A and B are shown apart, each in its own frame.
Chain A
Amino acid sequence: DQQVKQNSPSLSVQEGRISILNCDYTNSMFDYFLWYKKYPAEGPTFLISISSIKDKNEDGRFTVFLNKSAKHLSLHIVPSQPGDSAVYFCAASLDFSSGSARQLTFGSGTQLTVLP
């Protein structure tokens, strides 16, 4: 049972427009969420994160929104650039208990293609 779901395996957007990548989760105990970007033949690169006490976090062209009641988060990229073409993974983190390690649970990824 996937606890973190990215239901769109791919997304195409025109350069300069907004890209919106979506992610849903089922475990209400997740308290930290991250987005990673992955180019072919490279490991994922951390992009942006958000704590469950917030509903929005912004970093340049990237904004992550969290809707805890809907167990949904989204990543907005504005404006989209061809270099943003990559696979985007959302991840959720669960703090099991004091002194215990956090564990990241990843979605299956969304391939974003930004068309020039």
Chain B
Amino acid sequence: KAGVTQTPRYLIKTRGQQVTLSCSPISGHRSVSWYQQTPGQGLQFLFEYFSETQRNKGNFPGRFSGRQFSNSRSEMNVSTLELGDSALYLCASSLLPNTDTQYFGPGTRLTVL
């Protein structure tokens, strides 16, 4: 069974631009969560989607948004990029929202110049 896939793997943008990251969950998984990983900060929860609905949101500004499609694929968008948005963005999928074990993709490394 294929794992969680994320595209693109690497991305370089400049301040003020916007970016869209994509995540395809494991087949059959319906819950998708997004995390931001920066050096020294661990993984910080961005949001979770289930059945095309955002069920939970972390403490991030409104520039960070996402959506989920009917096939459970998810996209994350960051508008008006700032230097501090440079990070590894990880997507994780699970069967259902209340399933504790999440399976992570390899991440998208975003660099903002």
* Count of CB-CB pairs between chains A and B under 8 Å: 68
Any B CB within 8 A of the CB of A59: no
Task: State the interface size on chain A (CB cutoff 8 A).
Answer: 29
B100 touches A42 (CB 8 A): no
Any A CB within 8 A of the CB of B71: no
Select B43's contact among A42, A44, A101, beta carbons within 8 Å. Answer: A44
B100 touches A34 (CB 8 A): yes
Tell me the residues in window 72-116 of chain A with beta carbons closer than 8 Å to chain B beta carbons.
Answer: 89, 91, 93, 95-96, 100-109
Any A CB within 8 A of the CB of B72: no
B105 touches A43 (CB 8 A): yes
A43 touches B45 (CB 8 A): no
Tell me the residues in window 68-113 of chain B with beta carbons closer than 8 Å to chain A beta carbons.
Answer: 90-92, 97-107
Smallest CB-CB separation from B53: which chain A residue?
Answer: A101
Residues of A within 8 A of B48 (CB): 101, 103
Q: What is the bound-complex CA distance between A97 and B35, given in angstroms?
A: 21
B98 touches A43 (CB 8 A): no
CB distance from A39 to the nearest CB of B (A): 10
Residues of A within 8 A of B99 (CB): 102
Q: What is the bound-complex CA distance between A2 and B6, given in angstroms?
A: 28
User: Which of B43, B55, B58, B98 neighbours the largest number of chain A CB atoms within 10 Å of its CB?
Assistant: B43
Task: Give 7 CB contacts A-B under 8 Å.
Answer: A34-B101, A43-B105, A46-B101, A101-B48, A102-B99, A104-B33, A104-B45
Interface residues in chain A, defined as those with a beta carbon under 8 Å from any beta carbon in chain B: 2, 4, 6, 9, 32, 34, 36, 41-46, 49, 89, 91, 93, 95-96, 100-109
